[in-house]
Structure 1
Amino acid sequence: MFEQLTQLAQQFGIDAVVKNDAIPNEQNEAVINEASSSIVTGLQKIVSEGNVSQLAELFQGNNAQDKSNPVVQKLTEQLTGNLGEKFGLNSAAASGVAASLIPQILNSLVGKAKDPNDSSFEISDIIAAISGNGDSAGIMDTISKYGGQFGLDQNADGKVDMNDAMEALKKNSGGFGDTLGSLFGK
């Protein structure tokens, strides 16, 4: 997933980074890479703080470019701080780069994750990348908590668990990935 995020950062970084006089040309690649890694670590931090419902809302809605979205705000703040700390950018330059890159990258990421015809970002890959060391228990707890609202309770027992995953596997040849995908609107 990191490679795909880096590609998105490179795509959107032309105006925000490469054409930005505040960033020395020799730092362009490092700044773009920092944007990618900040998104991954920021999403991991959101999960570790128990705010998985914010991620579910991000992937469920069409608000990934909304600068008032809590996930967009947190990731923008984190990247702004990192750019100032690691590259010595003043706060206005760092904030400008982050405010430009984060919403564009997230919007593209969410769009690709929700698009059934685009396999470059799969929900299962995103969950694995942000859950840290493959421990997706926190995400699965949230899926269980909110899953009924999104139609994931396959056996109508009032909770979303592995039994629902097995039911989904029986019903759907796409498997558990599609079940998770339905949580995020894919």
Structure 2
Amino acid sequence: MLENLQNLIREHAGDAIINNPAIPNERNEEAVADASSSIISGLKTAVANGNTEEVQSLFKNGPAAASASPVAQNIQTGFAQNLMQKFGLDSGKAGGIAASLIPIVLQKFVHKTNDPNDKSFDLSSVLGSLTGGGGLGSIMNGLGGGEKDGGGIMGKIGGMFK
């Protein structure tokens, strides 16, 4: 999944990273990888902090709403902070890069995850990666639910598709 996410970011990194003089060309891949890790880290942090409903709404409400979610805003802020630290950018430039890249990537990510004809991302793999790759059973058990009671994130996610 990480490689697919990095490819998705590369597809949309044109003006934000690749053609941006604030990011040296020799560090473009580093910036792409950082955007990818910011997205994964932001999703993992949301799940770990018990914000499963926010993560679920990110995927449930579709691509158009993805960039407006609190999770997306946190990811964008985290990516901007990383750009300031790693690339020495001021907050305006870093915020601009994050604002031009993260929302579109999240919209495409959500679209691909919800598209049954697109096998590059699937919800099960995404959720498994957010909890250490243990699969859906591990997600349920790790977040306070079991298969018998339908609790935890699986009970909530099951309700997303009804």
Q: TM-score, normalised by structure 2?
A: 0.85
The 1:92/1:122 distance shift into structure 2, 3 A limit, reads: same
List structure 1 segments (4+ residues) > 4 angstroms apart after TM superposition: none
- Output aligned runs, 1:1-186, within 5 Å: 1-62=1-62, 63-66=65-68, 69-132=69-132, 134=134, 135-136=138-139, 137-138=142-143, 141-144=152-155, 146=156, 149-150=159-160, 182=161
- Contact conserved, 2:81 with 2:94, CA < 8 A, in 1? yes
Letter in 2 for 1:82: N
- Contact conserved, 2:125 with 2:133, CA < 8 A, in 1? no
Q: Which has the larger radius of gyration?
A: 1
Unaligned runs of 5+ in 2: 146-151
- Contact conserved, 2:58 with 2:66, CA < 8 A, in 1? yes
The 1:124/1:147 distance shift into structure 2, 3 A limit, reads: closer
1:132 offset after TM fit, Å? 2.3
Q: Whole-Å Cα distance in 2 between the matches of residues 101 and 113 of structure 1?
A: 18
1:147 offset after TM fit, Å? 5.1
Q: Whole-Å Cα distance in 2 between the matches of residues 40 and 20 of structure 1?
A: 23
Q: Whole-Å Cα distance in 2 between the matches of residues 65 and 27 of structure 1?
A: 26
Match of 2:148 in 1: none
Q: TM-score, normalised by structure 1?
A: 0.74
Unaligned runs of 5+ in 1: 151-181
Letter in 1 for 2:153: T
Letter in 2 for 1:138: L
Q: Whole-Å Cα distance in 2 between the matches of residues 101 and 143 of structure 1?
A: 30
Number of residues paired by the alignment? Answer: 149
